[in-house]
């Protein structure tokens, strides 16, 4: 959410930012919110004047009563009563205008970083760098569900009978591999100085609207019927929410946390053939990282975060690349975002396995996450988040890139301690 003062003083800059995000339907909102803000400030000014007048007149009434001037005192009391009625009207108007201003401000997109490429959608994202050599072996790479099934490691049919489409059972070595990757990612981030956390898996609506846009909320979140609770779509939601309505001493920054959680998503829309199996699902597990920091340090942390993901994937022998998200592909709260994509030998292309985002002070402003400087000056923190790993999608990249011609899967050295020392997985059936 933007600073109202910034919008009031820079309406054309806000409109130009909206155009860069190809959201022209939101352009009228800028003038609307400026008009409502002016009405709110006018009502507040008049209300403040009446409050000051009430104090003054109240003292006058006391003096008149002390002088025995009862008739004049009663006239002053009538004046106070009239002012009280008007004050109540003004306070109601001010609340109404402020609520409308907040509703609109929650919809106006954040100002994107000047370095963000301009484009309408993800087809115009820009490749930055490749890490590792993408290879296509001279033997066939089966569909990922078939690889998992060769280890008796996947049962989608049973999950469909139990929970419907978009769910799965992982079994045996594949389930163990899934847990090993999560555990390895946890320790990888702890070794890089992040504090490990297991957060709540449900959050209240005020946290939901604090961390994401209404459009994202509708597309992603599952609501608990009859309660003000939502299942999280990523642990970023509850991890950033941890700091709601807090004031952190500046010397305690940055806050660097890595968190494990299950994630629940509606995943609306049609899915392609390569998104069957466990690619696009309603439930998965994830290791996440978040940072709460000083504004001037957020660009530095942004680069550190996405590099953590690249480094982790490379230790597992998975080639990856980074893509700069263009303006039209950025969610409304984001200032800048980079996707990490893993190489798929089967598809002979890259696919997304993580996303790193700098949200500036947008989440902090919505959730009132503030920092106190020396001298008691306060300002809004910057927040960032990034995926460490999100299996089982990450397992697709792992299995395809470590599959051998005989159907076995090599276990990279870094992961072997989490797999009981195994150097390879051997299929149970062809």
Would residue 289 count as lying in a domain?
Answer: yes
Q: What is the mean pLDDT of the chain?
A: 92
The span from the CA of 197 to the CA of 143, in Å, is 34
111 near 13, Cβ under 8 Å? yes
Q: What is the dihedral of CA 94, 95, 99, 102, to 10 degrees?
A: 60
Tokens of 194: 């992040």
Quote the pLDDT of residue 218.
Answer: 81
The DSSP code sequence of 128-165 is EEEES-----SS----HHHHHHHTT-EEHHHHHHHH-T
**One domain, residues 98 and 159:** no
What does the pLDDT look like over 109-140, one tens digit per residue? 999 999 999 999 999 999 999 999 999 999 99
Token pair in block for residue 64: 């008149």
Note the pLDDT of residue 64. 67
Q: Measure the CA–CA gap between 135 and 158, rounded to whole angstroms.
A: 35
Evaluated on CA atoms 54, 59, 64, 68, the torsion sign reads positive
46 and 85 belong to one structural domain: yes
Same domain, 192 and 59: no
Are the C-beta atoms of residues 337 and 357 closer than 8 Å to each other? yes
Summarised one tens digit per residue, pLDDT across range 182-202 is: 999 999 999 999 999 999 999
- Residue environment code for 196-221, b if the CB has 16+ CB neighbours within 10 A, otherwise e: ebebbebbbeebbebbbbeeebeebb
Is residue 382 situated within a structural domain? yes
pLDDT at position 269, please? Answer: 53
Radius of gyration of the chain (CA): 28
Single out the residue of 407, 415, 315, 298 nearest to residue 357, CA to CA: 298
Tell me, yes or no, whether 117 lies in a domain.
Answer: no
336 and 190 share a domain?
yes
Give 295-309 pLDDT, tens digit per residue.
Answer: 999 999 999 999 999
Q: Other C-beta atoms within 10 Å of 33: how many?
A: 24
> What pLDDT shows up at residue 322?
98
pLDDT digits (tens, 9 = 90+) for 29-51: 999 999 999 999 999 998 888 88
**Residue range of the domain that includes 269:** 122-425
Same domain for 270 and 343, yes or no, is yes
Q: How far apart are CA 63 and CA 138, in angstroms?
A: 100
pLDDT tens digit sequence for 352-371: 999 999 999 999 999 999 99
**233, 199 Cβ separation under 8 angstroms:** no
In a domain, 234, yes or no: yes
172, two tokens: 């045996």
* CATH at 37: 1.10.287.40
Residue 23 has pLDDT above 50, yes or no: yes
Residue 113 counted as domain residue: no
Claim to verify: residue 66 and residue 205 sit in the same structural domain? no
The sign of the dihedral angle between the CA atoms of 408, 414, 415, 420 is: positive
Helix, coil or strand: residue 255: strand
**Where does a domain end: 105, 135, 163?**
105
User: What is the count of structural domains for the chain?
Assistant: 2
pLDDT band at 273 (very low <50, low <70, confident <90, very high): very low
What the block records as the tokens of 59 is 């003292």
CB atoms under 10 Å from CB of 264, counted, come to: 20
Position 169 in a domain: yes
pLDDT at 270 over 70: no
Alpha-carbon span 393 to 281, nearest angstrom:
9
In a domain, 357, yes or no: yes
Instruction: Please state, in angstroms and as integers, the Cα–Cα distance from residue 301 to each residue in 256, 291, 306, following that order.
Output: 10, 8, 9
């Amino acid at each position: 959410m933007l600073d109202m003062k910034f919008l009031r003083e820079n309406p054309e800059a806000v409109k130009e930012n909206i155009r860069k995000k190809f959201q022209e339907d939101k352009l009228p909102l800028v003038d609307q919110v400026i008009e409502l803000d002016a009405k709110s400030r006018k009502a507040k000014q008049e209300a403040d004047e009446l409050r000051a007048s009430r104090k003054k007149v109240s003292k006058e009434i006391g003096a008149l009563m002390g002088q025995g001037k009862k008739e004049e005192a009663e006239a002053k009391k009538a004046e106070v009563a009239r002012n009280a009625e008007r004050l109540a009207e003004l306070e109601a108007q001010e609340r109404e205008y402020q609520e409308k201003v907040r509703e609109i401000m929650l919809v106006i997109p954040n100002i994107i970083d000047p370095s963000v490429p301009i484009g309408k959608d993800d087809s115009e994202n820009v490749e930055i760098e490749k890490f590792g050599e993408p290879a296509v072996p001279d033997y066939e790479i089966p569909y990922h569900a078939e690889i998992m099934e060769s280890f008796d490691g996947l049962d989608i049919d049973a999950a469909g009978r139990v929970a419907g489409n978009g769910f799965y059972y992982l079994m045996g070595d594949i389930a163990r591999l899934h847990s090993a990757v999560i555990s390895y990612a946890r320790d990888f981030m702890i070794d890089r100085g992040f504090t490990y956390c297991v957060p709540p898996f449900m959050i209240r609506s005020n946290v939901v609207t604090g961390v994401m846009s209404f459009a994202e909320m509708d597309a992603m979140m599952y609501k608990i019927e009859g309660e003000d609770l939502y299942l999280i779509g990523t642990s970023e939601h509850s991890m950033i929410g941890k700091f709601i309505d807090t004031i952190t001493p500046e010397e305690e920054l940055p806050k660097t946390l890595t968190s494990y959680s299950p994630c629940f998503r509606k995943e609306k829309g049609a899915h392609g053939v390569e998104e069957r199996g466990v690619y696009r699902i309603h439930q998965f597990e994830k290791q996440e990282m978040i940072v709460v920091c000083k504004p001037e340090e957020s660009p530095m942390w942004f680069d550190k975060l996405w590099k953590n993901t690249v480094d982790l994937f490379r230790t597992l022998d998975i080639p990856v690349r980074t893509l700069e998200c263009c303006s039209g592909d950025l969610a409304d709260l984001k200032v800048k975002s980079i996707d990490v994509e893993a190489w798929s030998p089967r598809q002979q292309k890259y696919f997304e396995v993580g996303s790193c985002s700098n949200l500036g002070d947008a989440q902090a402003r919505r959730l009132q996450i503030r920092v106190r400087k020396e001298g008691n000056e306060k300002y809004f923190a910057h927040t960032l988040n990034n995926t460490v790993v999100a299996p089982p999608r990450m397992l697709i990249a792992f299995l395809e890139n470590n599959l051998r011609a005989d159907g076995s899967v090599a276990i990279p050295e870094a992961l072997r301690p989490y797999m009981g020392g195994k150097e390879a997985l051997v299929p149970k059936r062809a």
